[in-house]
Each structure stands twice: as C-alpha cells, then as structure tokens.
Structure 1
Amino acid sequence: MTTQTTPAFRYAAVTFDCADPAELARFYGDLLGYPVLFSTDDFVLLGKEGAAGLGFTRVADYRPPTWPDPAQGKQAHIELGVDDLDGAERRLLELGAVKPEFQPGEERWRVLLDPAGHPFCITTLV
C-alpha cells in the first residue's frame, strides 16, 4: 500500500482585475513598499520573496466597483493597518486614492478607492 502525502498549500497572492495593471501596481507598490516580482503587459505581481503578494490583471472592458452602490459589486477589498488614520489618508490621497463621500465608520476606519476604483480600508484596529 502506497502512502500519499497531502500537498502543502500557502497563501501566495490576491489579484485585482483592472484596466491598467502597471498603474495599479505603481499605486500599491508605492503604498506598501513592494517591488515588482513579475510583469507582463497584462499582469503585474508585487511582493517580497517568500511572502504573500498582490497581483493586478488586465481585464477587457473593466468596470470599477460602484461602492457603496451595489450596481457593480466591489468583488473584494483589502484592509490595511495604520498607526495614524489622518496621516495615512493624506498619504494615500497623494498617491492617487480617492475618498468617497460615504464613510461607515470614519472614527475607526476609512474607506478609500484605489486608482482602478477598488474600495479598500485603512484602520487602527489591526
């Protein structure tokens, strides 16, 4: 009887759909200090060797989420821990993020939109 081993899995990356992978990779690379690990015209992977990264893939006719309006769902979003909400928000806006008018919990976290329209949160809770 042959014994089979269970393959090991590890979280590698989350990938965001977008119209311009290089632009979105620049935004998150500047934000997180992640270098480009792999790049083509249609896909960019950011990260650090041995750690989970972020990918960005070109999608024809990409339509950004319309958060908080559910007409075009947000699909996914990331949470970023920060020490200073106001300072982090200022930096993100300098990098090209947009702050939507609707803020469900502004004292504890802020919702921003990346250059492709994906909502993401900054919080002091993590």
Structure 2
Amino acid sequence: MSALMELSAITLDCPDPPALAAFYEKATGLAPHPKSDAAFAGLQGADAPFIGFQRVDDYRPPSWPDQEVPQQLHLCFAVDDLDEAEARLLELGAGKPDQQPHEDRWRVLTDPAGHPFCVVVRR
C-alpha cells in the first residue's frame, strides 16, 4: 500500500522571515528558495522537505519549557557530535534554555525567533 501523504514542507511563524531563513540556511546547508521575500522565505534541498518562514505581526515566541506560549511544534536535527553542533549553532545565533531534560542524548536549543529545536546524535 502506498502512502496517502508525503511530508513536503514545514512552515514556521516568525517576525523576520529572511533572518530566520539565514540562520537555518547556515545550520542545515539547505539552499534559499529564489522567490523568498520579506513576508515569506524558504529553504530547499534535494532530499529534505521545504522549510518555510512566514511573517506574523505581533509574533510571540514559544516560552519553553513553561507553556505560557506553547511551542506547538519543534524540529529535530541529527548530528554526529552534540558538543560540536551545539557550539556551532550557538555561534550562529541559537539560544540554549537552562532546562535540558537529557543533555547526554539530545540538546534543546532555540532558533533566533525562539522556536525550540533539538539536536540528537545521528544513529
């Protein structure tokens, strides 16, 4: 039986689509979509879903780990070395919340717009 659906895109709300796209471009190596603009920017890759970033007026970042403003979703990225990936992502502008539930197995970071995401060891 073939799948009914295939994941083709993930879109994140944010205050500044080009800036958030630039962060994820540097972090993932995905290429900018040629029609990106100030209201909607995107990244694409041959073997990856499209990642979109859409401008939202009065954007409020998630407040992880408390749920005053829920995270609603988060992305996970596989890496070879947690410490190396964390250091590089922090250099690119990521944040690191104080609460780290299983820091030996994965790291919770936040992108420049406040979305939580995890880096996990590639298996």
Give the TM-score normalised by the residue count of structure 2.
Answer: 0.91
Counterpart position of 2:88: 91
Q: Which residue, out of 11, 14, 39, partners 1:15?
A: 11
Counterpart position of 2:64: 67
1:108–1:125 CA contact under 8 A, matched in 2: no
Secondary structure, in 3 states, of the residue corresponding to 1:29? helix
Aligned CA-pair RMSD:
1.4
Secondary structure, in 3 states, of the residue corresponding to 2:45? coil
Single out whichever of 16-25 and 33-42 deviates more from structure 2: 33-42
The structure with the greater share of residues assigned to strand is 2
Pairs aligned (count)? 119
Q: Which residue, out of 102, 110, 114, partners 1:113?
A: 110
2:80–2:122 CA contact under 8 A, matched in 1: no
CA offsets 1:39-63 (integer angstroms, 9 cap, x no match): 1220011012574121000001000
Counterpart position of 2:24: 28
Give 1:31's aligned amino acid. Answer: A
Rg bigger for which structure? 1
Structure 1 segments, 4+ long, off by >3 Å, are: none
User: Matched residues, percent identical?
Assistant: 51
Question: What are the ranges of 5 or more consecutive residues in structure 1 without an aligned counterpart?
Answer: 1-7
Counterpart position of 2:41: 44
